[in-house]
Amino acid sequence: MQDAELFLTKQGIEVTDYFDPARKAPLVQPHKLRVNYENYFFADTEGLERFRQDPGHWCGLVTDPVTKQRFHPGAGKQALAHEGALYYFSSGSSRARFESHPARYALPRFRM
């Protein structure tokens, strides 16, 4: 998968802050958080930290990287940080499969 920031920059696409769409979010790593296969951009680190405190509350549906099942990562769901991204899993067995072969599941198998 191509890097989201690079793709958006090449396409001339600007993104807005997750919490305040009136504010532009810079396309740089310190202003981005990836949850499963979704990227969330923030105008400042305060917004990023607000989101990071409870990502399951803010992100909506995510795709389990192993089973490809869509679900809401509410309280009690399995989570794991891996290479700068946060992953939620629909079950403990799905998380275990991811941990045994993270390179197989960490990125989706498609190009933007």
Interatomic CA distance for residues 109 and 68, integer angstroms: 11
Q: Where are the domains of the chain?
A: 4-105
Cite the beta strand spans of the chain per DSSP E.
Answer: 15-16, 24-25, 32-35, 38-41, 62-63, 70-71, 78-82, 85-89
**pLDDT number for residue 1:** 47
Interatomic CA distance for residues 53 and 1, integer angstroms: 27
Residue pair 14/21 in contact by the 8 Å Cβ criterion: no
**pLDDT number for residue 33:** 92
Interatomic CA distance for residues 36 and 89, integer angstroms: 9
- pLDDT tens digits for the chain (112 residues)? 457 888 898 999 999 999 999 999 999 888 999 999 899 999 999 999 999 988 888 988 999 999 999 999 877 677 899 998 999 999 999 999 999 999 999 887 655 4
pTM of the model: 0.84
Instruction: Extract the tokens encoding 10.
Output: 């090449």
**pLDDT number for residue 78:** 78
